[in-house]
């Protein structure tokens, strides 16, 4: 067990400013456990957590104690290395929401054979989906890298399609996906292909990523950003924006205007292009917050059915991803900090899946 916790701190108002901090591991209170973070996925989703952290409370899950600095949340696997909880032994592994750090102290509550919820005081009132941890026993599981890389993103993809389908796609005949090479966009394209086959799927991407996106076979049409105005502006369409590029979103609204039936803002893959929005034609963009939609759907169908519905589509996505996405393992503080900065700058190729380990 380490006597130090190493964490990557990020300046909330200046995300490229990041530095490692080390602090002594605290004494565990009764009922607490210390998790050693084995590996986590680094994706554009984590950049979204940072970019909208203040507005959606993402900085509140792993506070630094200093208001100007935060720790970016990630999804991954950890091992119990110290325990003051009679129900959770040392050596057990878990999957869930973690900090970019070497360790995490949690206060398990609602403990069952399947998992537990972190009852730490500072996490009360935060979205429950982020406070749940799945218990995995002591051995390695199947497709762990894929689960960390894709499952959180894919759940968002699944929820967007479910929300749009229940709204009958707002009367539109097509869906426009920005940052079409991103894993969440690819996931949405797959679920829409499977569950809403009558909706035309149009992907917007960079010229350099066009061939990759086309090769996935998940879109009916793939168009570079610079050619967007060549698309039919008379077709009724909904937009799902994963890029977060304000100028691009303004251009989409201007091109389709009244034919843009709904505008959803989901992610921020183009962090550097995120600015204050001015007047836009068409509908007001609506921010999509997955935890709220997930909780609503779980109440509707039950947690077990919800998981089964997502898992069925997820298996289909993993089969596609295996042919087009590779997994890379990174370790060490320097490599992880560099990877974070590359992801922040949108410089990670879409076919790369990054799995990170602090040590």
Q: What is the pLDDT of residues 91-116, one digit of tens each?
A: 999 999 999 999 999 999 999 998 99
The residues near 323 (Cβ < 8 Å, ≥ 6 apart) are: none
Residue 271 in this model has a pLDDT that exceeds 70: no
Pairing between strand 103-106 and 33-42? antiparallel
Burial of 60 (0-12, 13-18, 19+ CB in 10 A): middle
Nearest to 327 by CA among 294, 288, 355: 355
Residue range 30-45: mean pLDDT, rounded: 95
pLDDT bin (cut points 50, 70, 90) of residue 337 is very high
Residue 90 in this model has a pLDDT that exceeds 80: yes
Angle subtended at Cα 70 by Cα 69 and Cα 74, rounded to the nearest 5 degrees = 160
258 or 281: whose pLDDT is higher? 258
Q: What is the pLDDT of residues 150-200, one digit of tens each?
A: 888 899 999 999 999 999 999 999 999 999 998 899 999 999 999 999 999
The pLDDT, as a whole number, for residue 143 is: 81
pTM: 0.81
The pLDDT, as a whole number, for residue 1 is: 53
The pLDDT, as a whole number, for residue 246 is: 86
The pLDDT, as a whole number, for residue 326 is: 87
Edge to edge, what strands does the sheet with 260-265 contain?
Answer: 221-224, 200-205, 174-177, 237-241, 260-265, 286-287
pLDDT bin (cut points 50, 70, 90) of residue 278 is low
Burial of 25 (0-12, 13-18, 19+ CB in 10 A): middle
Nearest to 263 by CA among 248, 50, 272, 57: 248
139 or 306: whose pLDDT is higher? 306
Residue range 207-212: mean pLDDT, rounded: 94
Residue 277 in this model has a pLDDT that exceeds 70: no
Residue 325 in this model has a pLDDT that exceeds 90: no
Question: Six-digit token pair at 355?
Answer: 């799995």
Do residues 61 and 126 touch, judged by C-beta distance below 8 A?
yes
């Amino acid at each position: 067990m380490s006597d130090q916790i190493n964490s990557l701190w990020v300046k909330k108002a200046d995300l490229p400013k990041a530095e490692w901090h080390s602090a002594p591991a605290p004494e565990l209170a009764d009922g607490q456990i210390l998790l050693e973070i084995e590996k986590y996925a680094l994706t554009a989703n984590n950049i979204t957590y940072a970019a909208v952290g203040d507005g959606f409370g993402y900085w509140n899950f792993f506070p630094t104690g200093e208001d100007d600095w935060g720790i970016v949340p990630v999804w991954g696997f950890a091992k119990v290395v110290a325990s003051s909880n009679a129900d959770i032994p040392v050596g057990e592994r878990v999957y869930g929401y973690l900090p970019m750090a070497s360790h995490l102290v949690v206060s398990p509550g609602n403990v069952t054979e399947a998992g537990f919820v972190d009852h730490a005081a500072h996490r009360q009132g935060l979205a429950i989906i982020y406070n749940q941890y799945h218990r995995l026993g002591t051995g390695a599981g199947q497709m762990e890298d894929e689960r960390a890389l894709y499952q959180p993103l894919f759940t968002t993809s699944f929820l967007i399609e479910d929300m749009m389908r229940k709204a009958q796609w707002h009367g539109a005949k097509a869906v426009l996906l920005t940052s079409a090479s991103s894993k969440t966009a690819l996931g949405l394209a797959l679920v829409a292909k499977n569950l809403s086959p009558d909706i035309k799927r149009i992907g917007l991407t960079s010229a350099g990523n066009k061939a990759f996106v086309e090769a996935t076979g998940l879109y009916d049409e793939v168009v570079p950003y610079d050619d967007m105005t060549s698309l039919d502006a008379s077709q009724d369409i909904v937009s799902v924006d994963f890029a977060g590029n304000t100028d691009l979103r303004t251009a989409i609204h201007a091109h389709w205007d009244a034919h843009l039936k709904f505008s959803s803002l989901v992610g921020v893959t183009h962090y550097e292009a995120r600015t204050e929005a001015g007047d836009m034609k068409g509908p007001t963009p609506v921010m999509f917050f997955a935890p709220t939609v997930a909780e609503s759907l779980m109440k509707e169908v039950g947690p077990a059915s919800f998981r089964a519905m997502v898992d069925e589509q997820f298996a289909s996505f993993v089969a596609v991803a295996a042919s087009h996405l590779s997994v890379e393992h990174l370790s060490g503080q320097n490599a992880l900090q560099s990877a974070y900065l590359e992801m922040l700058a949108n410089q990670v190729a879409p076919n790369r899946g990054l799995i990170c380990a602090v040590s």
